[in-house]
Structures are given as C-alpha cells and as structure tokens.
Amino acid sequence: MSTFNLRRARLRSGEQLREEVEIALEPFVLGGQEYAPEPAVVPAQLTITKATTGTVFELAFRAGVRGPCFRCLRETVVEESVQAREYQATNPGNDDELRNEYLHDDQLDLTAWARDALALQLPEKILHAPDCAGLCPVCGKDLNEEPHTHDELAGDPRWAALDELRGQL
C-alpha cells in the first residue's frame, strides 16, 4: 500500500507541494471479473495545495488494466490517463462532501485513491475492439473468429400448448 505522510508537506495557506511518487496499484473486480493494473507500480505526480479553507489534493498518472473483454472474454488491456482531485476542508464538521475519504491521521492513502480514480476513468464496457461480436449465445463460440448462425432452435416443450394456440389464431 502506498501512502503519503502529510506531516512532510508543512504547507501554509497559498503554498503548494509537487512531488513525484510511486503508487502500488491493486487489482479490482469490475462486473464480476478481476482486472489487474499494468504496471503494478506507476509513477505519479502528487500536488498538494493549501488554501485558507482546506487542502486540495491532485493526482496524475497513466496506467492500464488487464482483464477479460466484456463481450468475448478475450484478454484485453485498456490504458488510461488519470487526473484526480480531492478536497479536505480545514473544519469539515459533519459534511461528508468536505472530507477526503483517503485521508486518515495525516496519511493520504494513494493506493486506494489511485485504484478508485482508475476504475472511474475506465470505459463503461471494457472491449478488446469497439466492434467485438461477443460469444454465440447458443454454442458459446467466439463470433469474432467464427461468425455463424444456427438453424431455428427447437422450442421449449413447456410452451408447446401456446405454440398450438398461435397456429389456430
């Protein structure tokens, strides 16, 4: 787990700290499938800006995730550039919007923040190609490699009585 100790920053209002950090990224589950970050450790730019009302944290890095295509399950790598921003108010009170969930006892959890920011940056569906045909719903073959169709399927015998009625109408 990668963290940053904010006691090292010692910023006054109006000051800013820019630092190169290395973040260990953890695998995560998306749509029931596990995706592993590539590379597992990424260089990132951390910027901390102290304002009169709180602190602004910015994180920028580039990483990819490796895992199955949503349609055909083929091994896929998606690369993303991530720019994330968080805010921590000096006196947040009970307002969760003014709290940074990655900040605990002057330790900024870079691993959790980077994982969440990367997951939010990913496309809605991870596909190996935009025109992925997926898997055949009948036989399970990859339609990208073997495009095919099946003859009309035999109906479910439980619906036989309704099929007879359809023929009478």
pTM of the model: 0.78
pLDDT tens digit sequence for 85-96: 999 888 877 777
Element spanning 80, H or E: strand 75-89
Which of the listed ranges 3-7, 19-23, 148-152, 154-158 does the model predict with the highest average pLDDT? 19-23
Residues present in the chain in total: 169
Where exactly are the structural domains of the chain? 3-121, 137-169
Q: Is 71:47 a contact under the CB 8 Å cutoff?
A: no
| pLDDT tens sequence across 36-59 | 999 999 999 999 999 888 999 999
Give exposure, 6-43, as e/b (b: 16+ Cβ within 10 Å).
beebeeeeeeeeeeebebebeebebeeeebebeeeebe
4: closest CA among 115, 17, 83?
A: 17
Check residue 35 and report its DSSP letter.
E
C-beta of residue 116 within 8 angstroms of C-beta of residue 28: no
